[in-house]
Amino acid sequence: MAKTPHEIVNPLTLAEPVGYSHALMVTPGRTVFVGGQTARRADGSVAGDAVVQQFDQALGNVVEALRGAGAEPVHVVDMRIHTTSMSTYRANLGPLGSIYRRHMGRHYPAMSAVGVQELLERGALVEITCTAVVPVVHDDAPLSDERALEIEVEEGVVSGPFGGPAEPGTNHART
């Protein structure tokens, strides 16, 4: 899966994020807002009666909506997960994480998970909304020094002012 075009910022002064990023500095582009996606299948029925099953379908629906708008998971800059069963959500973080990575890869935007009393869709236990920004590409524009370096290091691991080897595209703060 591709690397996000946005700069992930995780200040060392904050606790290390697990499964999300503290902030993103967004590359200018076309904004895509994905409305509340639940576990509704194309035929209108709700997939499953458990949080894990519904999360899988809802996140799959998010990816379909993104792609329909010309975006990809790496373009997501903000995601909100609403659930009517936060205790079940917490108890299933392992399986939910695996499902997330299957749909979104290892791209973790700024995220929040919120417990709610109920959702509009009858039988829905999970609803996901997100915002994506698809960068504007100008093929004739000269590359910035930062982008030129990013392209140069995409071949492998590079060391830099990070205190040792780092993955290409990482910034000086923890990502």
Do 159 and 94 have their domain in common?
A: no
pLDDT tens by residue, 3-44: 777 788 888 888 888 778 888 788 889 999 999 999 999 999
If one counts the domains in the chain, the total is: 2
Single-letter amino acid code for the residue at 89: Y
pTM for this one?
0.74
**Average of per-residue pLDDT across 98-125:** 95
Is 36 contained in some domain? yes
126 and 100 belong to one structural domain: yes
User: Which two tokens mark 114?
Assistant: 């919120």
Is the same domain home to 104 and 115?
yes
Q: Which residue's structure tokens are 């975006």?
A: 71
Same domain as 115, residue 153: no
To 5 degrees, how large is the angle CA 135–CA 75–CA 145? Answer: 50
Write out the residue range of the structural domain in which residue 33 sits.
Answer: 28-137
> Could you tell me if 148 and 92 lie in one domain?
no
